[in-house]
Amino acid sequence: MGDAFVGTVRVGYLRGRQDLAVGRHAPQVCANSPKWGALSRARFSRVSGLTMQQVSASENATAETRKAFESATNCVESFYDAWNRGSIDDMMLCIADDAEYEDAIFPSPFKGKAQVQQLFEKIMKLFPQNAEFMVDSIADGGKAAGCKWHVELNGKPLPFSRGNSFYEFDDAFRIRRAFETPEPFIKNGNVVLGLLSVVTKLLRL
């Protein structure tokens, strides 16, 4: 992915024009080529069938999808700001390509950007209008961070809307691993402790 792309076409990158839509295979080559200049852009344009404008747009799109943040705190703040603006695209800028996003209310984690985006879109559709995530605190540990939050509707906290999130980040401070624990609607702590006691006794037999 880091090779200069000047005058030649590597078959591994070019799988046919149906795969050369803007923002897919083509920009990955553009953005990672240190010698990428006007001449190589023109040659790539001729080979791929893309216009020069599309090649430039692809390059810009790739730069955005690989956006780097200044710190874990910067990424978390940007993530929730994008959520409150209803911008799925900006939320996804905070997510690493190999992300694994686990929400404790679901039986299994969401793996990869496509699954994570589907999760965000599903929640966004059900999210009340004028509701906002309010970040109460962020504990920044460098490549990991914890975040405490709650949801407000028209400036008033919603019941059962508190939660904690733990994030791990890649080198660009994008979220690579996430684990969220929303506040449960049914708080049956005594029942859970009772069941745990029974299970513990059975395991000791």
pLDDT in tens, 23-81: 333 333 333 444 444 444 455 445 455 555 554 554 444 444 567 899 999 999 999 99
Q: What is the pTM of this model?
A: 0.62
| Per-residue tokens: 199 | 């299970």
In whole angstroms, what is the distance from residue 163 CA to residue 65 CA?
28
Q: 111, 103 in Cβ contact below 8 A?
A: no
- CB-CB contact of 96 with 174 (8 Å): yes
Asked if the structure places residue 1 within a domain, the reply is no
Q: Is pLDDT of 8 > 90?
A: no
Better-scored residue on pLDDT, 155 or 196:
155
Residue 29, domain extent: 17-65
83, 142: one domain: yes
Claim to verify: residue 57 and residue 131 sit in the same structural domain: no
Residues 77 and 176 in one domain: yes
For residue 193, is it within any domain? no
> What tokens appear for 77 in the block?
């703040």
Could you tell me if residue 56 is inside a domain? yes
